[in-house]
Amino acid sequence: MIEYVPGLENVPAAESAVSYIDGEKGVLEYRGIRIEDLAEHSTFEEVTFLLMNGKLPTESELAEITQRIARARTLPKELRAIIKSLPKTAHPMDALQTCVAAVGAVTPHKNIYDESTREEMAIDFIGKFPSLVAAFHRSRTGQEIVDADPTLSVSADFLHMLTGEKHEPLKARAMDICLILHADHTMNASTFATRVTASTECQPSAAIAAAVGSLSGPLHGGANEAVLHQLEEIGAKEKVAPWFEQKLAKKGKIMGMGHRVYKTKDPRANILQDLARQLFVKFGSSPLYDIAVELERIAIDRLGPRGIYPNVDFYAGIVYSRLGIPIDLGTPIFAVSRIAGWTSHWMEQMRHNRLFRPTQVYQGEHNVPYLSMSERKAPVRTA
Ligand code: COA
């Protein structure tokens, strides 16, 4: 008998050295380095190097990867034309998934069996992601696409390409911290999607497009958007308790709470909560934050004993809204960051690839006779 494990919970799907989680203790490490240390001292470019290469860069290695990512931010005219042709009403995650497949369509197929070609393709995606997200946002809002500025960091240039303005350092640093926090997270659904698709030895655009689609769902990356809608729906701090009781009575889920691996508060949620407070000092508080804190208090009291605590998405949306970013760009920002993890996993998968081909537990019938059309019963219609 083969045991079926729904959601492959606790089933190892790869051997990986990219990141590590201790869900009981609330620990997250990239290549062995604690996320708290990276959020305090590092940059997204440095974290990208770390994830891809397994060690922190030297000064010259950091300068080199920063330049290569910056150069890759420029969008070719074919991609700009595709972005402009997309419906303005498209969800930015659908637009991003289309654009990632389009990167594959406008790039000649390359030799993915060569390590340095893979690295070059990975850096190209890491550079392109902020530009694709920003360009679609400009296009859907009827504004000119803003060219990348290679003198800026990924986070500062992303804000620049979104708004057309150069931002103050605190906003760029806040965005940088968000990008650091979301860059990798072990064998989550989108990383698994990357590795499963990549195991067919397809071009990386196919694997990354699968990952973007997987990230868009509300049980994964889409939760940060759902959290903001949830806080808006609650509307006021004093309405949290009755809203919560009603939600639980209907067996509804509190968005931004719970995690398959963490059974305590996600360490990234703590860092984002601190970041939100720092932004409030400079840019004013948000009524949604007070609602969120009250919701966290009640939820921990009621759901904490079952291991359900705030996850990364709980405070991410509030931070983005303080940075003036529209709600539906929360998940694309997650992707702008996670592309560093996806490509690191792609490269790791390719080094020791074996085609994913799991099995199933068949529940259907056998030897069913083929009925001619006249022998088939018409469905019973109920009034
Ligand atoms: N609110 C209320 N109850 C929750 C919950 C939440 N956010 N998350 C889990 N639960 C409850 C479920 O209702 C279920 O209860 P039951 O046993 O009485 O049926 C139990 O906990 C197990 O839930 P399940 O969804 O099977 O757990 P999981 O390990 O698959 O949970 C998530 C992981 C992320 C899918 C889940 O916590 C969730 O849907 N959270 C909300 C979405 C979210 O924030 N996603 C972002 C993840 S980073």
Mean pLDDT confidence for 9-29: 96
Residue-wise pLDDT tens digits, 245-260: 999 999 999 999 999 8
Q: How confident is the prediction for the chain on average, in pLDDT?
A: 95
- Tokens 């009250």 correspond to 294
- Tokens 């606790």 correspond to 10
Choose, from 124, 157, 266, 313, the residue flagged as catalytic: 313
| Alpha carbons 211 and 349: distance in angstroms, whole number | 14
In this prediction the pTM is 0.93
**Confidence label for 241 from pLDDT (cuts 50, 70 and 90):** very high
Residue-wise pLDDT tens digits, 109-150: 999 999 999 999 999 999 999 999 999 999 999 999 999 999
Centre of ligand 1 from the C-alpha of residue 116, in Å: 41
pLDDT at 383: 64
Kindly report the protein residue whose alpha carbon is nearest to atom 23 of ligand 1. Answer: 258
| Alpha carbons 50 and 43: distance in angstroms, whole number | 10
Residue-wise pLDDT tens digits, 62-118: 999 999 999 999 999 999 999 999 999 999 999 999 999 999 999 999 999 999 999
Catalytic residue check, 184: no
Mean pLDDT confidence for 310-334: 93
Residue 371: C-alpha distances to residues 364, 368, 375 (Å) = 17, 9, 6
**Pocket residues for ligand 1 (CB within 6 Å)?**
219, 223, 253-260, 303, 308, 311-313
Residue-wise pLDDT tens digits, 183-227: 999 999 999 999 999 999 999 999 999 999 999 998 998 888 899
Question: What phi, psi does 215 have (nearest 5°)?
Answer: -70, -20
Report long-range pairs for 231-237 (Cβ below 8 Å, ≥24 apart).
231/288, 231/291, 231/292, 231/295, 231/317, 231/318, 232/288, 234/291, 234/295, 235/291, 236/287, 236/291, 237/290, 237/291, 237/294
CB 313 within 8 A of CB 223: yes
Catalytic residue check, 91: no
Residue to mutate (ligand 1; options 219, 311, 315, 331; most atoms within 8 A of CB): 219
